[in-house]
A and B are shown apart, each in its own frame.
Chain A
Amino acid sequence: MTRFWPFAAFAALVVFLYIGLGRDPHEIPSPLINKPAPTFTLPELYKPAQQFSSQDMKGQVWLLNVWASWCVSCREEHPVLMELSQKHIVPVYGLDYKDTNVQGEAWLREGGDPYTLVATDANGHVGIEFGVYGVPETYVIDKQGVIRYKQIGAITHENLQQKILPLVAELQAK
């Protein structure tokens, strides 16, 4: 029995370390989940004279996708967003984060524009309000304007099918 204890302690330590190593340290849970999304009014990318207000989105479920032309992983998720936009399941609004209009527009011309509308957050202020720390990030916002889910990093077919779309369907049914 006495010989057994050090071994048990070692095994427990190994289990903890294994779990710790398996975690992605870049995924920091957002405290904004299930809290009202910060409201913002920002100029539109194509028509900078016009303002988009997040208040207008009340009553529908929508995705807010934070992207930028300088963001590498955004290229990875772009085709997935293009596919999603063709299905017309849920409106995807883009937030062009810390970017210039010229570069943002060029980027969308090149790869296609999956967004219902794109607002520009040139100084990153709205990004801070949303707790953005790594682009791309995507927020699922419900009819009441509450953030229900945050995807940190690129949207993939996998997390879209497993997490985002089932949640969207559930929220739309409410």
Chain B
Amino acid sequence: MKYLLILLISLLPAISYAGEAKDMAKDPVLEQRMIHLTQNLRCLVCQNESLAASQADLAKDLRQEVRDKMKQGMTDKEIIAFMVSKYGDFVLFDPPMQRNTILLWYGPFGLLLIGLASLVYQLRKRRKSVLEVKMSAEEAQRTAALLNEPKAPQT
């Protein structure tokens, strides 16, 4: 009897079924496309979350807006352009290459060039400061004698 009860209890989760998000069921292809698109868009309320992930009311509304626009036959590009026209470049996680973002895109390369230039400059300067020591004939002889000397037995 006890074991039967345990068995029944362990089967409980099978019948406790949580409803899937409704919109998923309606049109999974469209939903996939919507999620794919909104993953690259930033939520304006919780700013480091994507529109796809955010639970803010505005994000929900905007996801619905994206769905509606997709149903109207708008392309992904057109929808992104719409979002940018309303909320600015801020909604894009991937900032576009344009006049006011030149520093953002090419700044790092500029810093790299500065680094390389100062490295080359430093190396050249150092080369000048290292002196080549010229040995006299006598010194050369002494050096050779020392080098050729048989090794002293190790103690």
Given contacts A133-B44, A133-B45, A134-B45, contact A28 B90 (CB under 8 A): yes
* A-B pairs with beta carbons under 8 A, tally: 40
Chain B residues positioned under 8 Å from A131 (CB to CB)? 86-88
Place the interface of chain A in its size category: 10 to 19
CB <8 Å contact, A128 and B65: yes
Count of B residues near A, CB < 8 Å? 15
Q: Is B58 an interface residue (CB 8 A)?
A: yes
CA distance A133 to B44 in the complex (A): 6
CB <8 Å contact, B58 and A133: yes
Which single member of A25, A29, A123, A129 contacts B86 (CB below 8 Å)?
A: A129
Q: Which residues in chain B, 32-70, are within 8 Å of chain A measured between CB atoms?
A: 44-45, 47, 57-58, 61-62, 65
CB <8 Å contact, A31 and B45: no
CB <8 Å contact, A133 and B87: yes
Chain A residues positioned under 8 Å from B90 (CB to CB)? 28
* A-binding residues in B (CB < 8 A): 44-45, 47, 57-58, 61-62, 65, 84-90
Task: Give 7 pairs: A residue, B residue, CB < 8 Å, sorted on A.
Answer: A28-B88, A31-B84, A32-B86, A123-B61, A128-B86, A129-B86, A131-B86
